[in-house]
């Protein structure tokens, strides 16, 4: 996480390194963005603005699913298929439950052993576990940097703790939900709202005699997803079966994603979604940065500590306390 000035390159070095597809520079550029130092953040912003014109050319794929569903194995084999097709692949992983960045990096490299050795693959965990969705999380910007560095496919993997899928959904073109064949009980584990976001549901581990159970689950999933109604973009989410072990179903998944990309580009929804996402992130960042400045303020911190118990007990109106606090904050800045 620490990113002292000593280790920092200048703007042109970052830019040229990215365009030269130097993975070490890409890695350091992402670290720059993740830094908590104000000077690093400003340099990171400048870098992003500089490379914006080289971004946008990948297909961005979100991959989620509960723990144990086989995400790493799926990405390992699906990634190999993409590499075989001549793609350069970036895998960004978000694990809000992982606290140590170093451990997490090693973990991912072990999890995706073959991919991590491939020179056409870049794997990077989002180390900043606590600030998921906060200003410290830079997955969306990491996608842009990977695109500037020439990656054709960017996979964003999340374990689905908290709100992480909703955030990932706002940064990808295609959203893939992985589930296991296991009828009712397994489906109950699918978190609220996740199924609605899925552009495809892929059933993993369909091998070793689980084929008939998989067909049952498929029907249950299709029924459940029919309850969700027609989407604005006209896409009908598909349920696909795969076995990473037997390398079955992977090609179909890639074809489905290509089909999605073609249809959405033809109808204009692909670009519309990206425009919407850029606008979404602008307003989201305004909110994040405003709130960060507010909650980092010492006076604000102390006052909240003082008044929160009374608010929770209902002694004061949350609204009047909030207004006082914001007004005091803005007035205090005047005084400084």
Q: Which residues bind a copy of itself (CB under 8 A)?
A: 41-42, 45-46, 48-49, 52-53, 55-56, 141, 144, 184, 187-190, 192-193, 196, 224, 226-230, 274-275, 278-279, 281-291, 293-294, 308, 311-323, 325-326, 330, 333-334, 336
Identity of the residue, 63 or 194, whose beta carbon is nearer to a copy of itself in the bound complex: 194
Location of structure tokens 């909240």 = 304
CB of 74 to a copy of itself, least distance (A): 23
Report the DSSP beta bridge partners of residue 63. 157, 176
Identity of the residue, 263 or 274, whose beta carbon is nearer to a copy of itself in the bound complex: 274
Identity of the residue, 130 or 313, whose beta carbon is nearer to a copy of itself in the bound complex: 313
Identity of the residue, 109 or 213, whose beta carbon is nearer to a copy of itself in the bound complex: 213
CB of 29 to a copy of itself, least distance (A): 13
Nearest by Cα to 87 from 78, 96, 100, 95: 78
CB of 230 to a copy of itself, least distance (A): 8
Identity of the residue, 123 or 154, whose beta carbon is nearer to a copy of itself in the bound complex: 154
CB of 81 to a copy of itself, least distance (A): 29
CB of 280 to a copy of itself, least distance (A): 8
DSSP string, 229-247: ---TT----EEEE-BTTTT
Identity of the residue, 27 or 225, whose beta carbon is nearer to a copy of itself in the bound complex: 225
CB of 317 to a copy of itself, least distance (A): 4
Q: What are the C-alpha distances in Å from 279 to residues 55, 137, 154, 194, 285?
A: 16, 18, 21, 22, 10
Residue 153 is encoded by which pair of tokens?
């496919």
Identity of the residue, 106 or 275, whose beta carbon is nearer to a copy of itself in the bound complex: 275
Identity of the residue, 106 or 286, whose beta carbon is nearer to a copy of itself in the bound complex: 286
Following CA atoms 256, 262, 265, 269 in sequence, which dihedral angle do they give, to the nearest 10 degrees? -30
- List alpha helices for 52-156, DSSP H: 71-84, 101-111, 113-117, 139-148
How far does the chain reach from its first CA to its final CA, in angstroms?
31
Q: What are the C-alpha distances in Å from 89 to residues 58, 92, 95, 119, 243?
A: 9, 10, 19, 10, 21
Specify the 3-state DSSP secondary structure of 24: helix
**Class of residue 19 by CB neighbours under 10 A (exposed 0-12, middle 13-18, buried 19+):** middle
Q: Would residue 68 be called left, alpha or beta, if left means φ above 0 and alpha means ψ between -120 and 50 degrees?
A: left
Location of structure tokens 């959203």 = 175
CB of 264 to a copy of itself, least distance (A): 17
CB of 86 to a copy of itself, least distance (A): 26
């Amino acid at each position: 996480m620490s990113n002292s000035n000593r280790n920092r390159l200048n703007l042109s070095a970052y830019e040229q390194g990215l365009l030269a597809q130097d993975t070490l520079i890409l890695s350091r550029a992402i670290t720059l963005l993740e830094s908590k130092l104000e000077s690093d953040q400003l340099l990171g912003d400048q870098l992003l603005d500089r490379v914006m014109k080289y971004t946008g050319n990948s297909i961005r794929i979100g991959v989620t699913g509960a723990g144990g569903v086989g995400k790493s194995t799926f990405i390992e084999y699906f990634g190999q298929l993409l590499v075989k097709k001549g793609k350069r692949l970036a895998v960004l992983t978000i694990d809000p439950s992982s606290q140590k960045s170093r451990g997490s990096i090693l973990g991912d490299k072990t999890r995706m052993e073959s991919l991590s050795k491939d020179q056409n693959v870049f794997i990077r965990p989002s180390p900043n576990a606590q600030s998921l969705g906060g200003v410290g999380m830079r997955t969306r910007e990491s996608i842009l940097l990977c695109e500037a560095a020439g990656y054709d496919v960017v996979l964003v993997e999340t374990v689905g703790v908290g709100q992480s899928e909703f955030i990932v959904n706002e940064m990808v073109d295609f959203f893939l939900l992985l589930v296991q064949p296991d009828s009712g009980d397994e489906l109950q584990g699918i978190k609220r709202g996740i199924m609605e976001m899925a552009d495809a549901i892929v059933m993993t581990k369909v091998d070793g005699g689980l084929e008939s159970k998989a067909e049952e689950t498929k029907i249950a999933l299709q029924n459940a997803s029919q309850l969700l109604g027609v989407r604005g973009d006209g896409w009908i989410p598909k349920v696909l079966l795969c076995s990473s072990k037997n390398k079955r179903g992977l090609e179909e998944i890639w074809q489905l994603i290509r089909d999605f990309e073609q249809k959405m580009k033809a109808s204009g929804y692909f670009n519309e979604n990206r425009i919407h996402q850029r606008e979404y992130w602008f307003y989201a960042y305004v909110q994040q940065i405003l709130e960060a400045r507010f909650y980092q303020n010492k006076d604000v911190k102390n006052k909240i500590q003082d008044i929160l118990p009374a608010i929770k007990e209902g002694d004061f109106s949350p609204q009047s306390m909030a207004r006082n606090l914001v007004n005091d904050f803005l007035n205090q800045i005047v005084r400084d």
